[in-house]
Amino acid sequence: MAPNGSTERPVGHDGPPATAASSDLELLRAHVAGDRDAFAELLHRHRDRLWAVAVRTLGDREEAADALQDALLSAHRAAGRFRGDSAVTTWLHRIVVNACLDRIRRRQAHPTVPLPDGVRDGAGATGGTEPAAPMPDHDTALVVREALAALPVEQRAALILVDVQGYPIAEVARILEVAEGTVKSRCARGRARLAATLGYLRTAPEQPLLDGGMPAVTGRNHQPRGGVRSVSGRPRREANQEEL
């Protein structure tokens, strides 16, 4: 609605207004056509899951926030080039994952020495490595994060999407733009590395294992939830739950 209370539409937008009932594709098309609210509604639907992928891939909330912002800006600008050969959510996830992997590769190419007390850039800086959580399983979570961070970037991305986020193999293949067999191979190699690094956690009876022998982040048993199930039969987790 225009400021004067009329229903005047943005210049260049000839279609019906996007609403919460519109499909993702309709929202994206409305955004391209000039609807100023359509992209915001699309992000409102998927931002939590996109954020979870970013923070789990990078292991650093500040970097994840920067990567997500860069990715969403890219998606906003590139919406007109979306060909529709995949779901809009797959396209969004692909942009976010690529933004995260680009940051990881740059970080590996130009490693930095961490400052004391987790401060990254200047006194008083905030963000970076998360503060110690007041919970008994914090040490386990930290060990798992470090083990994930030590994986090759391709294996880490595949494992996070499949084993942590619960996406089906076929969808992960579309997100990463590789063959399904490649996703399976990367997951298998990543699980083997994690099993070698974290296998000692199996001795603790309160530490359940995720798919493929990957230790859970917390000491709680993961109870099945509703929603789309992955190829392993495990229900897909909500993105904003049990963040790594």
Q: What is the pLDDT of residues 20-33, one digit of tens each?
A: 678 999 999 999 99
Classify domain 17-111 at the CATH class level: mainly alpha
CA angle 155, 158, 162 (to 5 degrees): 140
pLDDT at 190: 94
pLDDT in tens, 184-243: 999 999 999 988 888 776 654 444 445 444 444 333 333 333 333 443 444 444 444 334
Amino acid symbol at 227: G
CATH 1.10.1740.10 in the chain: give the residue spans.
17-111
pTM above 0.85, yes or no: no
Q: Which fold has domain 133-223?
A: Arc Repressor Mutant, subunit A (1.10.10)
- Evaluate if residue 74 carries a pLDDT over 50: yes
Q: What is the DSSP letter of 36?
A: T
Beta strands in the chain (DSSP E): 209-210, 214-215
pLDDT reading at 37 higher than 50: yes
CB hemisphere CA count around 46 (13 angstroms):
24
Distance of alpha carbon 148 from the chain centroid: 14
Structure confidence at residue 197 (pLDDT): 85
Q: Where in the chain is the domain with CATH 1.10.10.10?
A: 133-223
Q: Which helix (H) or strand (E) is 225 found in, with range?
A: none
Q: Are strands 214-215 and 209-210 parallel, antiparallel or unpaired?
A: antiparallel
pLDDT at 129: 39
* Locus of tokens 């529709």: 84
Q: What is the pLDDT of residue 5?
A: 43
Amino acid (1-letter code) at residue 186:
R
Residues 6+ apart with CB under 8 A from 90: 171, 174, 175
Give the model's pLDDT for residue 209. 43
More confident residue, 182 or 2: 182
Task: Give yes or no for a contact between 203 and 140, defined as CB atoms under 8 angstroms apart.
Answer: no
pLDDT, tens digit, for every residue of 97-106? 999 999 998 8
* Largest interatomic CA distance in the chain: 67
Q: Compute the residue count for the chain.
A: 244
Answer whether 57's CB lies under 8 Å from 97's CB: yes
Cα 111 to the center of its chain, rounded Å: 23
